[in-house]
Structure 1
């Protein structure tokens, strides 16, 4: 009897060991063996709200795991199901389920570059944001003009975040919150503003005034080397209480009233009343008209020493400066009105270059 019992127990134990070995082999085979040797990358998307079961099924359908149901069980056993992160991930069919699980729970979503050039305004940045498929223009504009959000980021009230969205290349994931992107742009501005010592360079000027002037300089600049001289013209005119009379403020005034940025201005736009039009107001505009880069802010803070009161584009990207109206009118005739002069390249073309620094 004892011998029979011993034989039975031995048989049961042997079966248990064999079963455990089989389970162990299957588990090893599933978690450590890839479904294919194909090493081409597949972009797999985990959308907001996707359950793990939905994701597992999608992985199976794309040949990234052999069995979605088993993959889901495996994720539960290792306590990883709740760690699923939305995003776009680069996966391969030669990855093991263990490796696939590590990627889709890492949160390291594929990021794409979003380059904001120096001198773009909020309307142009919003257009770019939507055109590149990152989100909706309307939502972007609503946020950069939201009084509470603006105050939260700047620490003070302002009509919008115009001027404070630092021009640079930002890496954006597909489902990144637009609030996070805007906050990153403002944080970068604040860091650069501090780096260049802006708070002490012109102690009698407010931050808004510095950024406003820098935004005008940015829009008026073709060749970067001209920025300090362009700045000197505006500083000189402000000291003499002369109107700045700068065309980009006309354009921005129209955009401020209509939400549409015109490509050019007409003669009857020059004296069209707006709070930004410096042909009408005898002061700096109430706020920035674009988002300036580091060099434009430096130029606003440290203008070149000059007596220039006027400037005009030479249509080759550079600028002609004058101390008197007579000389300025001669320069306008030479570089703007003369048909030959119009064959050159406009500063507006040069001003659209992406930021590379």
Structure 2
């Protein structure tokens, strides 16, 4: 009898093991297979939230088929205690395994509300925008000029939301004064900036920041980034460029930055100035003259006067030979690389061509024809206004 009982018990035990194995296998398949989500969604993980709370939210939104399997899978992967607060984009068809990775990976939030402080060449603005998870595109909900306009209610409410992301986007060609003046007007920052950094020393880029961040710390970060960019570009420079130091490269790069906003022609513009430096021809570029007038503090807002073009100043490249004494703006990485590795061309002239780019020329005759064409375009545009 005991043998029969033992045999039956062993059989039952084996069946239970097989069933358990099958259940585990089924659970693993459910955990790793494509999920039921038809459209991307934004999932918010509150500060102090739990995997149980997140699983219920995901289940309610149709992102996971079984919240219990989601939690067990997270436990098995030792990720239940790694949950990160924030707002995260969950793509359509994401498996439970992928979603667990998304909400425990950390780093920058990938959806929800974002405030972008844009520091441009002619203006600054603060933009509040929301990511539409179905299109993966941002929808602007408010825009204003910090330090000038009253902050809209949408922005005020965003400042009280811990999940909101903040970025400072600095445009290529902005001056150091413009950057410092803008940072002082942004209420997301604290601390003082004692003095304006040297022109050209700040790297234009998009920087993620946190409320209460120190203004001087961001300036230091931008400075370190520009130093790294310049050092790497100088190391990889064309040995034949007529530039004696990284500082001269930064000066030329700033001129290139102000002369063109078309990425694919930066090296052509660089070739014109390089050829002029080699041949001892004055650079004759308006942006340097303008900088001599404004010192980078705001926008000139008018055309240059003939008296300003004739007056000898350290920045009037119609009068002085070679480069001005300092950069005239903060150039981006592409302009720095263009200054140190220009195209090999015979060009020594260029003028706007009406498309946003420039017409290049080797001889003064060709250049004069290009200038005449540009004047014609200017006159036609003026007549239409």
Q: What's the offset of the Cα at 1:339?
A: 4.2
Match status 1:275 vs 2:314: yes
Instruction: State the Cα distance separating 1:224 from its structure 2 match.
Output: 1.2
Listed as ranges, the matches of 1:69-148 within 5 Å are: 90=161, 112-134=166-188, 140=193, 142-145=194-197
Match of 2:10 in 1: none
Q: Is the 8 A contact 1:278 1:284 kept in 2?
A: yes
Kept in 2, the 8 Å contact 1:123–1:261? The answer is no
Shift of 1:172: 2.5
The residue number in structure 2 matching 1:174 is 211
Q: Larger helix proportion, structure 1 or 2?
A: 1
- Structure with bigger strand share is 2
User: Whole-Å Cα distance in 2 between the matches of residues 334 and 272 of structure 1?
Assistant: 28
Q: How far, CA to CA, are the matches of 1:341 and 1:167 in structure 2?
A: 35
Q: Does 1:288 align with 2:327?
A: yes
Instruction: Give the C-alpha shift of residue 323 in structure 1.
Output: 0.6
Unmatched runs of 5 consecutive residues or more in structure 1? 1-30, 33-38, 42-87, 92-108, 146-159, 345-357
Cα contact 2:190–2:213 (8 A) shared by 1: no
Return 5+ residue gaps in structure 2 as ranges: 1-47, 50-56, 58-86, 88-158
* Counterpart among 264, 269, 281 of residue 302 in structure 2: 264
2:225 is aligned, of 177, 182, 188, to: 188
Residues 1:339 and 1:217: Cα distance change in structure 2 (over 3 Å): closer
**Could you say which residue in structure 2 is the equivalent of 1:226?**
265
Question: Equivalents in 2 of 1:171, 1:290: separation in Å?
Answer: 22
Partner residue in 2 for 1:323: 362
Counterparts of 2:342 and 2:352, CA distance in 1: 19
Q: Retained in 2: the 8 A contact 1:250–1:277?
A: yes
SS at match of 1:143: coil
Give 1:144 deviation, angstroms.
2.5
Q: Distance in 1 between matches of 2:236 and 2:263?
A: 24
Q: Deviations over 1:203-261 (max 9, x none)?
A: 662111001101100110132111111000000000111110111101111122x8443
1:201 aligns with 237
Does the CA-based 8 Å contact 2:183-2:215 persist in structure 1? no
Partner residue, 1:309: 348
Using the TM superposition, name which of 262-271 and 325-334 deviates more: 262-271
Higher relative contact order (CA 8 A, sep 6+): 1
SS for the counterpart of 1:270 is helix
Pair 255,202 (structure 1): closer, same or farther in 2 beyond 3 Å: farther
TM-score of the aligned structures, taking structure 1 as reference length: 0.56
Q: Which residue of 1 aligns with 2:253?
A: 214
